[in-house]
Structure 1
Amino acid sequence: MAATTHSQSRTEPWIAPLARGPLRGDVSLPGSKSLTNRELVLAALADGPSTIRLPLHSRDSALMVRALRDLGVGIDEVDPEDGAAPNPYGPDLRITPAPMHGGVRVDCGLAGTVMRFLPPLAALAVGEVTVDGDPYARKRPMDAIIRALVDLGVNVTDDGGGAMPFTFTGTGSVRGGALTIDASASSQFVSGLLLSAPRFDEGLHLTHVGERLPSMPHIEMTVAALRARGVTVDEPSVGEWVVHPGPIAARDTTIEPDLSNAAPFAVAALVAGGTVRIRTWPRETTQVGADLETLLPLWGATVARDGDDLVVDGGVGILGGASLPGVDLDLSRGGELAPALVALAALADGPSEITGIGHLRGHETDRLAALAADVNRSGGAVHELDDGLRIEPAALHGSDWGAYDDHRMATAGAIVGLVVDGVAVDDIGSTAKTLPQFPSLWADLVATGAGTPDAER
């Protein structure tokens, strides 16, 4: 399938900085998008005010905040309490629940967590709510949420295509009860329903009936967040959840750094050589990015904990002449890591096959088609499979690299550009979706290499 660029705007291409020597990186990342947006939803439905410390401030989280405010929820930016050090990436958030009203048009942008988490919550408001987003967002799968709302008794109007835009009229309550869905296209369908389910009259007994259920760690994250706020969630069998009706406790919480956004920085150690230290890496987490600890050693990295940090040692790296093997991976647990790992595989000396990621066709772009198009445009040999990609070794050269409005496609181009001169990412600004600071953080990382490269070249 051919990938199609669908950006709304373009600036001058960003020429990925070349590494000049082994890295000595020290990276501090802002909060997890997945955790921030889950906690925003739960705090909006809680039985009192909550404070979210160290939240992510990015386009995805800003869209969630704006939608909740439009529905009537109070969200204020506040300074840290008890003399705590301020978040260098933005203020803490104080969320005050309030009766929610309609008369709202929710702008989801390209944020899957907004388009899948907000409709069940907004169905608890009184009045009409319209859900829409960026033009490409109208191609993202939404049928499971639309059908779920209808099955739960919500009056939904759409064009029959199972996509945005759609409109529904909330009555202030949702019946809940038994519900069957096919969440094969995204685990976010499950999470979106579970998050609001305690506020449904009958709670929710949700059963998934599709052939696959990708990204299970994200559902585990949702269940853990619910339980942390006192909600009773039973899991009678795989693909089945029972959320009991009742209050969602107000709770102050601190957001972990985004471990999926750590992927390109950690992978950089294998490409350029040297070490990259990721600050405040949690010892226990539901984030799928934690799988990097076991995945990167497959390519030869040494990964170790040092106090609160994770240190990735790539040895001499590809830049220093290392030969990286090909690998075969099933990434059904965490497909969001695929773009960074495909970029790494495209630089390896052996063939790789990365599967379990067919659902990525329905993400911000068709990531399988986009990755194949970008790498192959650069001289690579990537072949699309039904459920993944096969990457053959090839000598890459500089070329245009499409971001396709997708933050992870843009960062994949940065990885390749560490050792391939002239990789021109057409929209590095797309990284603002979850990591607005990416260009500066990346430039700082590359500058730690021997020779102090010109990060602006």
Structure 2
Amino acid sequence: MSIAEYSQTPPAESAGWLAPTVDGSLDVVIAVPGSKSLTNRELILAAIAEGPGRLIGPLHSQDSARMIEALRALGVDIQEVEGDGVFGPDLVVTPMSPLAGDVVVDCGQAGTVMRFVAAIAGLASGEVTLTAHETALHRPMGAMITALRAVGSDIDDEGTWALPFVVRGHGHVRGGEVEIDASGSSQFVSGLLLAAPRFDVGMTLRHVGGRLPSMPHIDMTVEALGRRGVHVERPTPTEWIVPAGPVRAKDVTIEPDLSNAAPFLAAAMIAGGRVTVGGWPAHSTQPGALLTEILPVMGARAQRRGGALMVTAGTTGIHGVDLDLSAASELTPTLVALAAFADGPTTLTGIGHIRGHETDRIAALVGNLRALGGEAHELPDGIRIVPRELTGGVWRAHHDHRIATAGALIGLRVPGVVVDDIGATAKTLPEFPDLWSYLVRRAGVDTPR
């Protein structure tokens, strides 16, 4: 899709969500729900484990709901039980073996569902049809289909190398050695690793393409497997050996979603003052953990205190930077919003693969900034932002949760920014509008209409 198409104004009848501006500085403590990435990984592992297990503090969002629906369709029993969390119940998962077949799985817009469920679908006793929302049918699946066939999954995609397709489950998957070009998404690697312990002979996986994006997400997968007794060997940075064997049943506490915390922390830099996010882990494989390094480079002060992360606006404003975001590409929309108010140009690279996310994120960000009078340029592997005075206008979410939150950030300083679909944030953070309203109320301003 062209940049011009990403700059079109939606129909007048679409009122949208008027992002609030702030005149005073912030001083607020925010809690965010559990990590989507961890929740969906732990749901998969719990579904193929030796026995029942509990997920404590999981995320309840569109993406996690799609995963729960998919696993229930495959015969896995998932019950909501009261827990101590403020964002929803815990989940008790009782696995099913073999998984049920002759079912249809609607992945919605969730990349983790389409990649992770495809990997375990061969363990079902019958056909599993995977499809998705029409806005997600473009998401890359060809490399995953090729790799799954190589380990013995029986897949009929009618030659499209894309969703929808059918996995003819035979109750087991052979496994073995496989090569994959996962440069389009690290989820290909994670999906295969999560399923591999249940393959007949395990799996040896080698990445053979270009630069592998989002390595922290792969580290997250390896760590999650390790917690359940599956030791993954890594002879090289792009090779993994997973033995066949049981997946331990376990109760697992889900960390807060650090990438969903990013817009709130960045708000301190745009509005001034400080924002504290509670429950920040001392160690995490989430890409959002890199915010403690990235935000100070852009001019903030980041301090961990008592299990929380506090970000305070710097005295010299927001700095333009050159960053390789290949390890944390999901932070791109938040950092682009910051860069729009920097003291010089910003170049973000290593993010070419985000063209294949919920939308073409690079084109969407460039188009939105230009629509508000800004200057931004699409690069082969990234984006360049040159700060300009911005004006109000429509910020198009393109069904993408992170694009929507970037518009909210821009609106903190620019009056009249209207996000056409703030509901897109329900994909990973349904509470976003309420949390954002709380954030701006703490600065003494009106909540958004």
Q: Shared fold by TM > 0.5?
A: yes
Q: Could you tell me which residue of structure 2 aligns to residue 94 of structure 1?
A: 92
| Structure 1 residues 245-278: Cα deviation after superposition (integer angstroms, max 9, x where no partner) | 0000000010000000011001000000000010
Q: Could you tell me which residue of structure 1 aligns to residue 341 of structure 2?
A: 347
Q: Could you tell me which residue of structure 2 aligns to residue 209 of structure 1?
A: 208
| Equivalent-residue separation in structure 2 for 1:456 and 1:407 (angstroms) | 18
| SS in structure 2 at match of 1:389 | strand
Q: Could you tell me which residue of structure 2 aligns to residue 370 of structure 1?
A: 364
| Structure 1 residues 158-202: Cα deviation after superposition (integer angstroms, max 9, x where no partner) | 132211001121000000000000000000000000001000001
| Equivalent-residue separation in structure 1 for 2:121 and 2:237 (angstroms) | 28
2:441 maps to amino acid:
A
| Equivalent-residue separation in structure 1 for 2:52 and 2:23 (angstroms) | 50
| Equivalent-residue separation in structure 2 for 1:226 and 1:12 (angstroms) | 46
Q: Could you tell me which residue of structure 1 aligns to residue 53 of structure 2?
A: 50
1:192 aligns with 2:186: no
Q: Could you tell me which residue of structure 2 aligns to residue 128 of structure 1?
A: 127
| Equivalent-residue separation in structure 1 for 2:270 and 2:230 (angstroms) | 44
Q: Could you tell me which residue of structure 2 aligns to residue 430 of structure 1?
A: 424
Q: 2:40 aligns with which of 15, 37, 42?
A: 37
| Structure 1 residues 72-103: Cα deviation after superposition (integer angstroms, max 9, x where no partner) | 001001123xxxxx211110000001221111
| Equivalent-residue separation in structure 1 for 2:343 and 2:370 (angstroms) | 16
2:193 maps to amino acid:
L
- Do 2:222 and 2:232's aligned partners in 1 also have CA atoms closer than 8 Å? yes
How far the C-alpha of 1:314 sits from its partner, in A, is: 0.7
| SS in structure 2 at match of 1:263 | helix
Q: Could you tell me which residue of structure 1 aligns to residue 380 of structure 2?
A: 386
| Equivalent-residue separation in structure 2 for 1:230 and 1:273 (angstroms) | 46
2:448 maps to amino acid:
E
| Equivalent-residue separation in structure 2 for 1:127 and 1:406 (angstroms) | 33
**Length-normalised TM-score, structure 2:** 0.97
2:130 maps to amino acid:
V
- Do 2:300 and 2:314's aligned partners in 1 also have CA atoms closer than 8 Å? yes
| Structure 1 residues 136-179: Cα deviation after superposition (integer angstroms, max 9, x where no partner) | 21101000111112112222111322110011210000000000
Q: 2:331 aligns with which of 322, 334, 337?
A: 337
Q: Could you tell me which residue of structure 2 aligns to residue 411 of structure 1?
A: 405
After TM superposition, list the pairs within 5 Å mapping 1:11-410 onto structure 2. 12-80=15-83, 86-99=84-97, 100-315=99-314, 323-410=317-404
| Equivalent-residue separation in structure 2 for 1:43 and 1:396 (angstroms) | 48
1:454 aligns with 2:439: no
| Equivalent-residue separation in structure 1 for 2:447 and 2:158 (angstroms) | 48
- Do 2:127 and 2:169's aligned partners in 1 also have CA atoms closer than 8 Å? yes
Count of matched residue pairs = 443
How far the C-alpha of 1:447 sits from its partner, in A, is: 1.2
| Equivalent-residue separation in structure 2 for 1:296 and 1:218 (angstroms) | 20
How far the C-alpha of 1:11 sits from its partner, in A, is: 5.9
How far the C-alpha of 1:349 sits from its partner, in A, is: 2.4
| Equivalent-residue separation in structure 1 for 2:96 and 2:156 (angstroms) | 26
1:229 maps to amino acid:
R
**Length-normalised TM-score, structure 1:** 0.95
1:393 maps to amino acid:
P
- Do 2:122 and 2:154's aligned partners in 1 also have CA atoms closer than 8 Å? no
| SS in structure 2 at match of 1:123 | helix
2:377 maps to amino acid:
H
| Equivalent-residue separation in structure 1 for 2:171 and 2:158 (angstroms) | 24
5+ residue gaps, structure 1: 81-85, 317-321
Q: Could you tell me which residue of structure 2 aligns to residue 421 of structure 1?
A: 415
| Structure 1 residues 99-150: Cα deviation after superposition (integer angstroms, max 9, x where no partner) | 2111111111111110110011111001011111011211010001111121
Which stretch shifts more, 164-173 or 150-159?
A: 150-159
| Equivalent-residue separation in structure 1 for 2:15 and 2:225 (angstroms) | 44
| Equivalent-residue separation in structure 2 for 1:444 and 1:11 (angstroms) | 25
How far the C-alpha of 1:238 sits from its partner, in A, is: 1.4
| SS in structure 1 at match of 2:235 | strand
| Structure 1 residues 268-325: Cα deviation after superposition (integer angstroms, max 9, x where no partner) | 0000000001001000111110110010111211110111111000146xxxxx5422
Q: Could you tell me which residue of structure 2 aligns to residue 83 of structure 1?
A: none
| Equivalent-residue separation in structure 2 for 1:162 and 1:326 (angstroms) | 40
| SS in structure 2 at match of 1:94 | strand
| SS in structure 1 at match of 2:260 | coil
What do you get for the CA RMSD once the two structures are aligned?
1.4
1:291 maps to amino acid:
L
| Equivalent-residue separation in structure 1 for 2:206 and 2:25 (angstroms) | 49
- Do 2:82 and 2:90's aligned partners in 1 also have CA atoms closer than 8 Å? yes
